[in-house]
C-alpha cells in the first residue's frame, strides 16, 4: 500500500476534525474498583443484578452483551452517559456524554454513585476511589467474557514470548484490578502541538497531585503504579504506544509522523479478534500477510491476515496525552481519585486549557525540576516515587504546584460556572504535601485498617 495513502488516512482519522473550530466540550470517564468488604471474591451475579437495576432506574439501554448473555455496557441515549465494566466485572466505569459545564457531570455522577452504593450495601460491597483494587488478591481477576477483552487479556499474558526485548512486570492481569479517570477535551489544530508539548511537560508535576495507586507489596516507594503497568507490559513493546512523548512537536505533520511510528497488535475478522506481535502501522499496512492467532472454543488457532486500510480502526495507543479520532485529547495518566474529589481532575485540566499560554511560559521558565538535564519522562519516573530526588527543593516544588493550580482556578473563574470549587482538594494536597497514595500509605503505617481506608476513599 502506498505510504502517502496511509499518511492521508492517518491524517483523516487523527487530525482532520481538529481543523474545525471546536466547541470545548468536556468528556469524563471514571473507573472504580468494586470491593467485597467480606474479603471474598466479588460475586459477578450481584454485579449483573446491579446492571439491570441501574438500567431500569436511569433508562439506560443495553449496548453490549458478553458471551454468557450478561450486559457489560449500557447507554442513556438522551445524554450519552455509559455504564460499563472495564476489562473485568471487578471494575465499574461511568462515562459521561460531552458537556460544557462540569457541574452537570458532577450532578449525574453523584446520582448514579448514590444508587450503586445503596444497591451494594446489603451485600457489603462498595465502590471506592482507589487506583488499585485493595482486595484484588481475593477476586477472580479474569476478563469480561467477550472477544475484545479476551483478546486483550491474551495479548498481555503473551509477554513471555518477548522476554529479552524489555523488562516486563509480573501483573499481566492488571486491567482487572487497576482503575483510572480520564478526561477528554476538544482541541483546535492551531493549538494542538502546543497543547501536547505543554501537557507532556506537566506530567511529572501531576504525579504529585493525583498519584493514587501504591503497590507496597511490590514496590513500597511507588505512588503511581499505573505508569509501570502499561509501560512494562506488551503495550510497551513499542514505547511510542504508551506513556509520555520523547520530543516536542512543531507542527501537525510531526505529530502525524509520530503516530505513523506506533504499532498495531490486533484486528477483527468475521467477528473474531486476532492477536499478533505488535508491528509498526505503516509496515503492517504495507505487508502482504501477517501471522496471528484467534480464540476458538477454548483454544487459540493460527490464522493469516491480509492487512487492509480499514484496520486503522484497531490502531490504539495509550499515551498520557492521547490524540483521538474524535478531535479530542484524552488525558489518561491519572489514577482514579478519592470519590469526594472525583471532579478535581477534570476541573484541573479544563482550567489549564483556558490558561495554556501562561502554563507554557511557567513551565519553560521553570528551574525547580527542569533545566537539570532530565527529560519530562525521566522526571515523571522520579516524581511518582515517595522519596523525591535530592536536587529538588521541596518548598519551591510545592510553590510551583500552587502556581499551576492557581492558573487552573483563574481559567475556571473566567468560564463563570463556579467550577473552581472542585479544585479545593488539590489545594489541600499541596498544603499537606501529599497525594492520595501518600496519605493512604501514611494511614496504613499508623495502624489504620484497609477497610477504613476503603470506606474513607468511597465517601461522596
- The C-alpha cell at 359 is 502554563
pLDDT digits (tens, 9 = 90+) for 264-307: 999 999 999 999 999 999 999 999 999 999 999 999 999 999 99
Number of H helices, E strands in the chain: 15, 15
- In degrees and rounded to multiples of 5, residue 35 shows phi and psi of -120, 130
Average pLDDT over residues 381-405: 97
pLDDT digits (tens, 9 = 90+) for 72-101: 999 999 999 999 999 999 999 999 999 999
Would the pLDDT of 171 be above 70? Answer: yes
Would you list the domain boundaries of the chain? 17-144+171-258+318-458, 263-314
What is the predicted pLDDT for the residue at 1?
80
Tell me the CB-side half-sphere exposure of residue 252, using CA atoms within 13 A: 20
Class of residue 163 by CB neighbours under 10 A (exposed 0-12, middle 13-18, buried 19+): exposed
Whole-prediction pTM value?
0.96
Contact by Cβ (8 Å): 74, 62: yes
Contact by Cβ (8 Å): 80, 97: yes
Q: Please identify, in words, the CATH class of the domain defined by 17-144+171-258+318-458.
A: alpha beta
Distance separating alpha carbons of residues 93 and 31, to the nearest angstrom: 4
| CA-based nearest residue to 61, from 42, 72, 77, 38 | 77
| DSSP secondary structure string for all residues of 349-402 | HHHHHTTHHHHHHHHHT--SSSSSS--HHHHHHHHTBSS--TT--HHHHHHHHH
Strands 318-319, 242-243: pairing is parallel
- Residue 336, number of CB atoms within 10 A of its CB: 31
What is the predicted pLDDT for the residue at 22?
67
Strands 263-269, 272-280: pairing is antiparallel
Contact by Cβ (8 Å): 215, 222: yes
Amino acid at each position: 500500500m502506498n505510504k502517502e495513502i496511509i499518511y492521508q488516512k492517518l491524517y483523516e482519522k487523527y487530525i482532520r476534525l481538529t481543523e474545525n473550530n471546536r466547541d470545548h466540550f468536556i468528556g469524563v470517564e471514571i473507573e472504580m474498583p468494586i470491593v467485597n468488604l467480606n474479603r471474598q471474591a466479588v460475586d459477578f451475579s450481584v454485579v449483573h443484578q446491579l446492571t439491570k437495576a441501574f438500567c431500569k432506574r436511569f433508562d439506560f439501554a443495553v449496548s453490549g452483551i458478553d458471551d454468557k448473555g450478561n450486559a457489560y455496557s449500557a447507554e442513556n441515549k438522551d445524554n450519552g452517559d455509559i455504564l460499563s465494566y472495564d476489562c473485568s466485572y471487578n471494575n465499574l466505569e461511568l462515562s459521561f456524554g460531552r458537556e460544557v459545564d462540569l457541574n452537570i457531570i458532577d450532578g449525574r455522577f453523584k446520582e448514579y454513585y448514590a444508587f450503586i452504593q445503596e444497591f451494594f450495601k446489603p451485600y457489603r460491597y462498595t465502590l471506592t476511589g482507589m487506583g488499585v483494587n485493595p482486595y484484588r488478591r481475593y477476586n477472580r481477576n479474569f476478563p469480561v467474557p467477550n472477544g475484545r477483552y479476551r483478546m486483550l487479556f491474551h495479548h498481555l499474558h503473551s509477554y513471555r514470548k518477548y522476554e529479552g526485548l524489555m523488562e516486563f512486570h509480573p501483573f499481566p492481569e492488571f486491567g482487572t484490578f487497576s482503575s483510572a479517570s480520564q478526561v477528554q477535551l476538544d482541541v483546535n489544530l492551531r493549538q494542538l502541538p502546543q497543547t501536547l508539548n505543554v501537557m507532556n511537560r506537566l506530567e511529572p508535576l501531576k504525579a504529585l497531585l493525583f498519584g493514587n495507586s501504591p503497590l507496597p507489596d511490590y514496590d513500597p516507594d511507588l505512588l503511581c503504579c499505573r505508569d509501570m503497568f502499561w509501560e512494562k507490559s506488551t503495550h510497551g513493546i513499542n514505547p511510542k504506544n504508551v506513556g509520555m512523548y520523547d520530543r516536542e512537536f512543531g507542527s501537525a505533520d510531526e505529530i502525524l509522523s509520530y503516530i505513523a511510528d506506533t504499532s498495531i497488535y490486533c484486528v477483527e475478522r468475521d467477528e473474531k479478534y486476532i492477536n499478533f506481535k505488535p508491528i509498526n502501522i505503516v509496515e503492517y499496512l504495507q505487508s502482504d500477510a501477517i501471522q496471528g492467532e484467534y480464540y476458538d472454543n477454548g483454544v487459540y488457532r493460527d490464522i493469516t491476515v491480509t492487512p487492509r486500510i480499514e484496520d486503522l480502526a484497531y490502531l490504539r495507543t495509550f499515551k498520557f496525552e492521547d490524540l483521538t479520532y474524535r478531535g479530542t485529547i484524552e488525558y489518561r495518566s491519572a489514577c482514579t481519585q478519592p470519590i469526594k474529589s472525583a471532579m478535581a481532575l477534570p476541573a484541573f485540566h479544563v482550567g489549564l486549557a483556558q490558561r495554556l499560554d501562561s502554563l507554557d511560559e511557567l513551565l519553560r521558565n521553570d528551574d525547580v525540576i527542569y533545566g537539570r538535564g532530565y527529560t519530562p519522562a525521566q522526571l515523571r519516573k522520579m516524581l511518582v516515587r515517595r522519596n523525591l530526588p535530592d536536587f529538588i527543593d521541596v518548598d519551591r516544588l510545592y510553590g510551583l504546584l500552587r502556581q499551576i493550580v492557581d492558573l487552573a482556578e483563574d481559567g475556571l473563574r473566567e468560564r463563570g460556572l463556579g467550577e473552581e470549587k472542585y479544585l479545593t482538594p488539590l489545594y489541600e494536597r499541596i498544603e499537606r504535601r501529599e497525594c492520595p497514595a501518600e496519605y493512604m500509605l501514611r494511614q496504613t503505617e499508623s495502624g489504620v485498617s484497609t477497610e477504613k481506608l476503603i470506606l474513607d476513599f468511597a465517601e461522596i
